[in-house]
Structure 1
Amino acid sequence: MNAFSLSDLWNGPLGAVLSYTIILSILLVNLLVSIRLLLTRRKIGYFSLMLSLLILMTQYVQLTVFEFTQDQSDVSNFVAMLLKLLSFLLINTGMYQLYNPTKWKDSVVFLLCLGVTIAVSATYWFIPDWLQGGGEQIPMLKPLGMDLYLFLLIFVSFLLVNPRIGQNGKYQVMLTLYFCSHMIHMANMYLFGNSQTVLTKFEQLIPMAFHLVLFLFIFERIIEIMQAIYHSSITDGLTKLYNRKYFYNRVAQHIAQKINVSVIFSDIDNFKKLNDTKGHHMGDLVLKQVAQIVKEEAEEVGICGRYGGEEMVVLVTDSEVNANELAERIRTRVEAETIVTVSMGFSRYSKNISADELIKQADEAMYKAKTSGKNKVVAF
């Protein structure tokens, strides 16, 4: 019974093994998610994360073996420290790559950091004469260079990686936890000779929090990807307005609920001539300018969309908004702020009307505006 006392769970090898097992479980989940993302997204950042997680798992397997074998040889200690440095370097590289395109300059910086890491790791085996002490001090001083270098990597990550990625809050929490864990490790090792059981326990517990936040970071990235995919499926890539299918579905939803809505249909005047004389680049620029004006005027009172080509539409969902006045404001701004004009028509909801009929009525009103002089608003 004594072998399974609460004291052993806190201070003994069993407690350390339990902590490492929990961390390994979290790492395994993170690894499976990273592999899945790598296979579906084909982004190098997920490969870097996957590699760092494999290294971390190797490190914690090694630490678990330490607790059973009590093997604290120079080689095993060196391997543990090297794995720790490489995993930290790769995790931060992967997080940077998730939010930034990988350029050759980034590859050079990574290779430079990798080279410095290997060079610093070599100091484990070559202690300067002025640092050498007694027989008990030499083993303690061997990892000093690698430990100090890890502090440098933490601060570099704060300065270089943090401003260039999303989820800054989670990332800062992760680095803070890692910094605290490493600081406790150094204090316990170099000040107390690993004799403080409380500090040793914190060395085991804080990484659990770090890896939990890492899991939340990766999970949040999945949500961001899903949102981006959904957003791209319902919006027009050029104007950033909703696409035709989404707009039609929203009109149908409101009509099915018998909500008093209006549809505004607009078409840029002489757009084909603009493309032919000034090129498609100018045409795209005008489309974006007009779309921005439509969005600024209408997005708080309705839903804006690109219906096709140079046609833009608005579903006015606010019953207190006068569709004629809204269309006129859009027409006036387009004429004043761009090199084109727009012809606009609108229709209002009436009993037993369908979504197709409501949109068709607005289209017909727009066509009437276009054939009767252009640059005007016509009601159906």
Structure 2
Amino acid sequence: MLYELLCGPMRPVYFSTIILVILLLMLVMTFRLFVNRRKKAYFSLSLSILVVMAQHILIISAGTDAPGTGNWTGYATILLKAVSFIFLNLGIYQMYNSSRTRQHVLTWSAVVIAVLLSLMYFLVDGFEGNPGQVVLLQNLGIELYMFLMLFLCHQWISPWVGQWNRYQLSLSFYFIYQLIHLADVFITGSAYPALAAAGSTFLVLYYMTLFLIVFERVVELLQAVYTKSITDALTGLYNRLYFMNRLKQYLSHEVPVTVIFTDIDNFKKLNDTQGHDKGDEALKKVALILRECVEEIGVAGRLGGEEMVVLVTDPEVHPGELAELIRKRIEAEAGVTVSVGYSKAKKGISPDALVKQADEAMYQAKTTGKNKVCKYMKQKQLNAGGHAG
């Protein structure tokens, strides 16, 4: 039963149906990208996938991928084979690059050449010979042209595709398919159904690999959009909205968290005397230290300006010791100093209140000498002789 399905007369229909399913999934992804991002590249890729689908719909309707002589369905099938390959690979290129006039000229030149070569389908229709020889001559130009297209894609497109190895693998699959297809049609005369089935299998692998390329690109773009929406562009730390949402989440589950609030000392003076580039460099260095210090025990964010915060989620970590470690590393490695304050969450406290407490502790450090760590203490405790540290 399986052998009959793969190698029988319905083989082209079976394999083209599989390919259509793969192409449909690709089309859904690329069209959604176009709707969400409105980039011309995704619209072009969607159109190219539709062209490939049209080719395989013709194969299914004809029931064969080796069209006979003298009919328009056969001509459209061999022409779409070349045109769909050109446009689909251009679409893969456009997912990673903006196409310029040069790329458009080369693409349409390749399409025009494919159309001219495909006209052999009708030019040799009156050729004196048996039908098999006529079919061979009809398809020969396009079949050899496909090898040229593979070489050009390897040379001109693969270096510009982010998933270089996967794209090279897809071209290898198509190359093997094309070799097997030529051997099946031009050498054995389609006498071995298993050989044709092997070729169709490699064609399916080609489209599956392209699907993985598109899928991986979609994931990359979604990750990039999400990361951009939750992080600060300059420092790479989480932005205020994301940090506060995370803090709210932990507090709602009564997790014993601590907020550490840092503020770079004399930051305005640094910007005024040495320039904003120097200030930005200091922000990046401080942010990197914060990320490294809390990589496995919490998250770090930037509230704005030179104010950066740490949410300590590991109850085993002593916040005062961590705050002092942060202060020492910044002083030694960032070329600036910071005033640091921290506050432990109490039951029922709101996210804004906890951050405000840490901010008040930082302000106490700032107004009592700078470059130091202070723990939040209620005003009545301070009045009673309590101390910070």
TM over 0.5: yes
How many angstroms does 1:300 deviate by? Answer: 2.5
Q: 1:145 and 1:326 mapped to 2: Cα distance?
A: 72
Aligned to 2:307: 311
Aligned to 2:271: 275
Q: CA, structure 1 residues 250+70, in 2 after alignment: closer, same or farther (shift >3 Å)?
A: closer
Post-superposition CA distance 1:125-160 (Å, at most 9, x none) = 68xxxxxx9946575255445333423433444455
Q: CA, structure 1 residues 281+229, in 2 after alignment: closer, same or farther (shift >3 Å)?
A: same
Contact 2:262 2:338 in 1 (8 A): yes
How many angstroms does 1:23 deviate by? Answer: 2.9
Aligned to 1:130: none
Moved more, 165-174 or 279-288: 165-174
SS of residue paired to 2:341? strand
Q: Return the match for 2:364 from 353, 361, 368.
A: 368
Q: 2:144 and 2:169 mapped to 1: Cα distance?
A: 21
- For normalisation by structure 2, the TM-score amounts to 0.80
How many angstroms does 1:312 deviate by? Answer: 0.4
Q: 2:119 and 2:68 mapped to 1: Cα distance?
A: 18
Aligned to 2:283: 287
SS of residue paired to 1:345? strand
SS of residue paired to 2:63? helix
Contact 1:45 1:98 in 2 (8 A): yes
Does 2:373 align with 1:377? yes
Post-superposition CA distance 1:281-336 (Å, at most 9, x none) = 44333322221222122222211101122110111223333323332333233333
Tell me the amino acid that sits aligned with residue 251 of structure 2: I
Q: Map of 1:43-58 to 2, 5 A cutoff?
A: 43-58=39-54
Contact 2:238 2:302 in 1 (8 A): yes
How many angstroms does 1:123 deviate by? Answer: 4.8
Aligned to 1:17: 13
Q: Return the match for 2:175 from 155, 173, 179.
A: 179
Tell me the amino acid that sits aligned with residue 87 of structure 1: S
How many angstroms does 1:162 deviate by? Answer: 4.0
Moved more, 15-24 or 244-253: 15-24
How many angstroms does 1:161 deviate by? Answer: 3.9
Q: 2:251 and 2:361 mapped to 1: Cα distance?
A: 19
Tell me the amino acid that sits aligned with residue 90 of structure 1: F
Unaligned stretches of 5+ residues in structure 1? 127-132
Moved more, 215-224 or 303-312: 215-224
Tell me the amino acid that sits aligned with residue 341 of structure 1: T
Aligned to 1:89: 86
Q: Map of 1:1-380 to 2, 5 A cutoff?
A: 9-67=5-63, 71-73=68-70, 79-100=76-97, 102=98, 104=100, 107-116=101-110, 118-119=112-113, 122-123=116-117, 135=129, 137=133, 139-141=135-137, 143-158=139-154, 160-168=156-164, 170-380=166-376
User: Percent of aligned positions with the same letter in both sequences?
Assistant: 46
Contact 2:82 2:114 in 1 (8 A): no
Q: 1:302 and 1:165 mapped to 2: Cα distance?
A: 36
SS of residue paired to 1:229? helix
Q: CA, structure 1 residues 351+39, in 2 after alignment: closer, same or farther (shift >3 Å)?
A: closer
Contact 1:347 1:379 in 2 (8 A): yes
Q: 2:259 and 2:305 mapped to 1: Cα distance?
A: 18
SS of residue paired to 2:301? strand
- For normalisation by structure 1, the TM-score amounts to 0.82
Q: 2:143 and 2:14 mapped to 1: Cα distance?
A: 25
Q: 1:25 and 1:250 mapped to 2: Cα distance?
A: 40
How many angstroms does 1:201 deviate by? Answer: 2.9
Q: CA, structure 1 residues 71+269, in 2 after alignment: closer, same or farther (shift >3 Å)?
A: same
Contact 2:67 2:74 in 1 (8 A): no
How many angstroms does 1:196 deviate by? Answer: 2.4
Q: 2:46 and 2:347 mapped to 1: Cα distance?
A: 58
Note the aligned Cα RMSD (angstroms). Answer: 3.3
Q: CA, structure 1 residues 185+270, in 2 after alignment: closer, same or farther (shift >3 Å)?
A: same
